[in-house]
Amino acid sequence: MSPAEQPQPPRPVDVRRPTLNAVAARAGVGRGTVSRVINGSPKVSDRSRAAVERAIAELGYVPNRAARSLATRRTDSVALVVPDAESRLFAEPYFSEIILGVSAGLSSAGMQLLLVLTGDETEYGRLAGYLAAQRVDGVLLMAVHAEDTLPDRLAELAVPTVLAGRRGEAERLGHVRADNRGGARLAVRHLLAGGRRAVATITGPLDMDAARARLDGYRDALRDAGVPVAEELIAAGDFTEQGGRAAMRELLRRRPDLDAVFAASDVMASGAVQELRAAGRRIPGDVALVGFDDSIVARHIDPPLTSVRQPLAEMGRTMASLLLEEIAQRGTGQRGVVLPTELVVRESA
């Protein structure tokens, strides 16, 4: 039987790319020299450098990442972890825009971005070991809750980590967050400045620092204005539209006389709008409304929603640079960075 007759096994198409060895041979130098050129070492003569660079260009050589990271024990890549429970939020600009910033910040440093969307709880539990074993150089962690222990486990494993938001006041790990408290304060001050006095708030889940901070800001603004804080004007939501509706309904029941609402997220505000409408209140005529996030829904809701903007892309970039610092020099990165928020005034308040 001639070899041509037997059925060809699906031979693995491996288009071999040129190796560092090939470059060295072509340039007429040793491997070490090529490596030095690639890594920008100064101790290479101009002659050799030129020869190597020419060979690289001619062969279209690009170093093999796996080989390099095996030798260096670095991967030049970081993981961005988004817990699945939160992935509903993925539909909002929040994550997307942070990711955009992160990507920009990383790629300028030649780092790769590994996107890790975790499934169920158990998967999330295995994550620490997994991430350490993959030898990503660092981890960016989104949407951490107060009781989350993943960050600590990563710290134990000496994996540089930066959080989006902190778990609480005592956060020891590097993190980046918006000035939630200040933003909320701006929002409520704006409502008060509009002459409103019965200002309610719909909070986020209070096991998240951002939600607590926004509630604190609400209290701050009332205190600043000498308006007493009435507990029955505070209703708990969960950052979802449904939660916003339920909270708004509850607030209307408790205090039919309320004349303003600060919702700790636009999505909850959108739920509140529906409920207010159902109750026959006009916005902003009867009830003024301010949201938080300045997300895409804020612009498209009717009436367009006054909202607190956080600089998401910049937060992403900052996270990236904090992480890069920490990777380059452990224990160096700043602990917490707070970025300013601003009030975007539209028609709802």
Q: Footprint of a copy of itself on residues 289-308 (CB under 8 A)?
A: 296-297, 300-302
Beta strand 260-263 with 138-141 is unpaired
Mark 224-253 with x for binding to DNA (rule: CB under 7 A) and - for no binding. ------------------------------
Using left for φ > 0, alpha for ψ between -120 and 50, and beta otherwise, residue 76 falls in left
Q: Within a 13 Å sphere around the CA of 312, how many CA atoms are in the beta-carbon half?
A: 17
Mark 36-55 with x for binding to DNA (rule: CB under 7 A) and - for no binding. x-xx--xxxx-xxx------
Contact call for residue 60 and a copy of itself (CB under 8 A): yes
Q: Which stretch binds a copy of itself (CB under 8 A): 38-46, 70-78, 173-181, 210-218?
A: 70-78
Which tokens sit at 12? 């693995």
Beta strand 306-309 with 342-344 is antiparallel
* Strands of the 306-309 sheet, one edge to the other: 234-236, 199-203, 260-263, 288-293, 306-309, 342-344
CA distances (Å), origin 341, targets 30, 160, 198, 293: 55, 27, 24, 9
- Selected binder of DNA within 33, 103, 118, 295 (CB under 7 A): 33
* Minimum distance of DNA from residue 276's CB (angstroms): 59
- Selected binder of a copy of itself within 1, 4, 57, 133 (CB under 8 A): 133
- The Cα angle at residue 124 between residues 119 and 129, in degrees rounded to 5: 135
Which amino acid makes up residue 139? V
- Selected binder of a copy of itself within 21, 39, 41, 64 (CB under 8 A): 64
From the list 234, 245, 174, 248, the residue with the least C-alpha distance to 206 is 234
Q: Which stretch binds DNA (CB under 7 A): 58-66, 186-194, 265-273, 276-284?
A: 58-66
Mark 258-287 with x for binding to a copy of itself (rule: CB under 8 A) and - for no binding. ------------x-----------------
Compute the Cα dihedral for 247, 146, 209, 306 and give only its sign: negative
SS3 for 111?
Answer: coil
Q: Within a 13 Å sphere around the CA of 151, how many CA atoms are in the beta-carbon half?
A: 23
Contact call for residue 64 and DNA (CB under 7 A): yes
Give 159 or 199: the residue with its C-beta nearer to a copy of itself.
159
Give 50 or 278: the residue with its C-beta nearer to DNA.
50
Helices then strands, each counted (H, E), the chain: 13, 12
- Selected binder of a copy of itself within 17, 31, 172, 197 (CB under 8 A): 17
Which tokens sit at 148? 């989350």
Find which of DNA, a copy of itself, none residue 203 binds, CB within 5 to 8 Å per kind.
none
Give dist(CA 328, CA 62) in Å, integer: 24
Contacts of 243 (CB under 8 A, 6+ apart): 202, 237, 268, 271
The helix (H) or strand (E) run that includes residue 211 is helix 209-224
- Selected binder of a copy of itself within 73, 147, 231, 280 (CB under 8 A): 73
Give 53 or 216: the residue with its C-beta nearer to DNA.
53
- Selected binder of a copy of itself within 39, 45, 50, 135 (CB under 8 A): 135
Residues in contact with a copy of itself by the rule CB under 8 A: 10, 12-15, 17, 60, 62-67, 69-70, 73, 75, 77, 80, 87, 90-93, 95-97, 99-100, 103-104, 107, 112-117, 119, 129-130, 132-135, 157-158, 270, 296-297, 300-302, 329-330
Residues in contact with DNA by the rule CB under 7 A: 16, 19-21, 28-36, 38-39, 42-45, 47-49, 61, 63-64, 67-68, 70-73
